[in-house]
Amino acid sequence: MNQLFLKTVKADFVRKVAVKVPEGVKNLKFNIKEVTISGKIEKFTEGILNVPFKIINVPAGITINTLNKKVQVTYIVGLSSFNKIDENSFQIECDYAMSALNRLGYLIPKVVRKASEIKSYKLIPNEIDFLIQN
């Protein structure tokens, strides 16, 4: 049994390796001479959903209208979790106050909550045009 070095792992694995006892240690006893190390490999896949967004921090008396009511989310998830992901797996918000403070003529969608199984994501569009109604 040698040291375990793994590169480009493409399949599940189970390996036994020896426990290396530090030299010069006198007051410790080790009952275990070897350990089993295992890893489970999962394939990832890409999914696309249209997810509704919420506009927050809109002052009273102002109504914000947008042409689109949803953004497209492209995400990466483990194959075993793919069927668990739906539009409720994301919460997307646009902060009107931030856009107004920065004098932007658009809203910026931001993911504020996502399912833990999702490894990465991208939003399209990343700017949402809006109209103000009083």
Tens digits of residue pLDDT in 89-120:
999 999 999 999 999 999 999 999 999 999 99
Asked whether residue 1 is domain-assigned, the answer is: no
Average pLDDT for residues 13-21, to the nearest whole number? 86
Number of helical H runs and strand E runs in the chain: 1, 10
Domain count, the chain: 1
Q: Tell me if 100 is assigned to some domain.
A: yes
Q: CB burial class (10 A; 0-12, 13-18, 19+) of residue 64?
A: middle
Domain with 129, as residue range(s), is 44-133
Q: Domain holding 85: CATH number?
A: 2.170.120.30
Residue 106 forms part of a structural domain: yes
CA distance 96 to 131: 11
Count CB neighbours of 53 within 10 A: 22
81 in any annotated domain: yes
User: Tell me: the pLDDT tens digits for 29-85?
Assistant: 778 888 999 998 899 999 999 999 999 999 999 999 999 999 999 999 999 999 999
